[in-house]
């Protein structure tokens, strides 16, 4: 916890010490999260066996209305969090703006400067939740700007807990979920209507930690590009992340088809313009042979007609090469999770509803 002044001290309520075995759900969010947060809290069961702490970046206005708004929609009681609160199962604690929070024997709220430009800082809370609750900690990352929460999700995973991330395609602001995904710290990437059932199912397993494994299996990747320097750059990028294994490289479309059949990678990163057989034709052949194949297309172009053609061929994602190094890891993890990934700059080139049939497609 950063140095600062505790928020109004008072006598501890006589409700016993914190029980780490009960579990804790920490919802982290920022812009665009009110509706998904309300939808999740409205569908948690009345006998929910864990406390829920909401850490949301928002303005420090007064009066603070978020608890009242959530209470009108949630199935569980919602209250302002106070310094010294013991966490009661089945209760939602909303962290007020303008303070940081951690959990020790109880919640600790302090007035302190912003950390990483935000207050409350989600990374701070998630790290403390990992220390105290270990495998019974669940992090939920919803719509928001910036990357706060991603490193805290890593701490949750390392402690054996579980990280559930809102599908970035459904977010008004996808940066926070995408940051957690790109670090490889998401156990599940889900649409909002599946998050509450997933949490409830996890917490119904009191005899063991929630996380199915401390680390997900490595994602096996085939790189297909006729420029060796591009392949080397993509390989170097992916090899900095322990979640990826580049198993083969192809320098043309025909080789990509053959190597995909031989190695059955989890994802093929496919250049669109290649000799012998272009990326569109290669994608069509690979998907025709194996409908489960995931292809992330790469191109120097962002022509809408070209994008439509390779999506029609069966690709699950599309990136422009000028953004590939920043987005590739997130794109791969998104398509492996069974969804379609399109760069934000690409989605902005289409009319509303024009891509709906692709984004709604079950890529799994």
> How many angstroms separate the first and last alpha carbons of the chain?
42
Of 309, 262, 322, 245, residue with least CA distance to 283: 309
Q: Is the pTM of this model over 0.75?
A: no
Q: Which of 85, 128, 148, 182 is catalytic?
A: 148
| Contact in structure between 302 and 345 (CB atoms under 8 Å) | yes
| Burial classification of residue 88, based on how many CB atoms lie within 10 Å of its CB (0-12 exposed, 13-18 middle, 19 or more buried) | middle
Of 166, 165, 167, 171, residue with least CA distance to 152: 165
Q: What is the pLDDT of residue 151?
A: 93
Q: Which of 33, 57, 143, 167 is catalytic?
A: 57
> Across 203-281, where does the E strand assignment appear?
219-224, 244-250, 267-271
| Contact in structure between 287 and 313 (CB atoms under 8 Å) | yes
Of 315, 258, 262, residue with least CA distance to 291: 315
Residue 269 β-bridge partners: 223, 296
Which residues in 7-24 are b (16+ Cβ under 10 Å) and which e? beeeeeeeeeebebebbb
* pLDDT average per 10 residues of sequence, the chain (364 residues): 49 44 90 94 89 92 82 92 91 93 89 88 95 92 94 92 92 92 86 89 62 61 94 86 87 96 95 94 96 90 85 91 73 80 72 57 45
Q: What is the pLDDT of residue 362?
A: 46
* Catalytic residue flag (residue 263): no
* Catalytic residue flag (residue 291): no
Non-local CB neighbours of 142 within 8 Å, separated by 6+ positions:
27, 28, 29, 33, 36, 37, 166, 171, 176, 177
Q: What is the pLDDT of residue 324?
A: 63
Q: How far apart are CA 78 and CA 73, in angstroms?
A: 10
| Contact in structure between 30 and 146 (CB atoms under 8 Å) | yes
Of 337, 342, 336, 345, residue with least CA distance to 357: 342
| Contact in structure between 91 and 22 (CB atoms under 8 Å) | no
Q: What is the pLDDT of residue 15?
A: 39
Q: What is the pLDDT of residue 322?
A: 74
Q: How far apart are CA 137 and CA 126, in angstroms?
A: 9
Residue 163 β-bridge partners: 139
* Catalytic residue flag (residue 213): no
* Backbone angles phi and psi of 183, in degrees to 5: -80, -5
| Contact in structure between 245 and 217 (CB atoms under 8 Å) | no
Domains of the chain: 5-203 (3.40.50.180), 219-359 (3.40.50.2300)
R_g of the chain computed on alpha carbons = 22
| Contact in structure between 174 and 150 (CB atoms under 8 Å) | no
């Amino acid at each position: 916890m950063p140095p600062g002044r505790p928020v109004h001290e008072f006598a501890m309520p006589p409700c016993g010490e914190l029980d780490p075995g009960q579990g804790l759900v920490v919802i982290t969010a920022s812009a665009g999260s009110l509706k998904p947060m309300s939808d999740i809290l409205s569908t948690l069961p009345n006998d929910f066996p864990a406390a829920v702490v909401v850490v949301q970046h928002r303005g420090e206005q007064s009066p603070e209305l978020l608890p009242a708004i959530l209470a009108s929609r949630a199935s569980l009681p919602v209250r302002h969090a106070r310094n010294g609160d013991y966490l009661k199962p089945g209760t939602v604690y909303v962290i007020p703006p303008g303070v940081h929070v951690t959990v020790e024997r109880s919640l600790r709220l302090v007035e302190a400067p912003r950390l990483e430009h935000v207050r409350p800082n989600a990374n701070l809370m998630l790290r403390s939740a990992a220390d105290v609750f270990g495998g019974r900690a669940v992090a939920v990352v919803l719509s928001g700007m910036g990357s706060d929460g991603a490193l805290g999700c890593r701490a949750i995973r390392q402690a054996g807990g579980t990280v559930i991330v809102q599908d970035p395609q459904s977010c008004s602001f996808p940066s926070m979920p995408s940051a957690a995904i790109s670090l490889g710290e998401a156990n599940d990437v889900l649409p909002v209507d599946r998050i509450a059932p997933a949490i409830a199912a996890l917490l119904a397993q009191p005899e063991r930690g929630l996380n199915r494994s401390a680390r997900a299996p490595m994602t096996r990747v085939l790189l297909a590009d006729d420029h060796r320097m591009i392949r080397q750059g993509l390989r170097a990028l992916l090899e900095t992340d322990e979640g990826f294994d580049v198993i083969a490289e192809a320098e043309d479309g025909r080789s990509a088809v053959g190597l995909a059949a031989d190695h059955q990678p989890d994802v093929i990163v496919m250049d669109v313009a290649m000799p012998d057989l272009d990326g569109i034709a290669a994608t069509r052949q690979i998907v025709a042979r194996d409908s489960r194949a995931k292809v992330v297309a790469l191109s120097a172009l962002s022509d809408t007609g070209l994008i439509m053609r390779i999506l029609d061929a069966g690709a699950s994602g599309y990136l422009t090469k000028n953004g590939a190094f920043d987005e590739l890891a997130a794109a791969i993890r998104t398509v492996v999770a069974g969804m379609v990934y399109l760069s934000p700059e690409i989605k902005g080139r289409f009319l509303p509803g024009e891509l709906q049939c692709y984004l709604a497609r079950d890529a799994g």
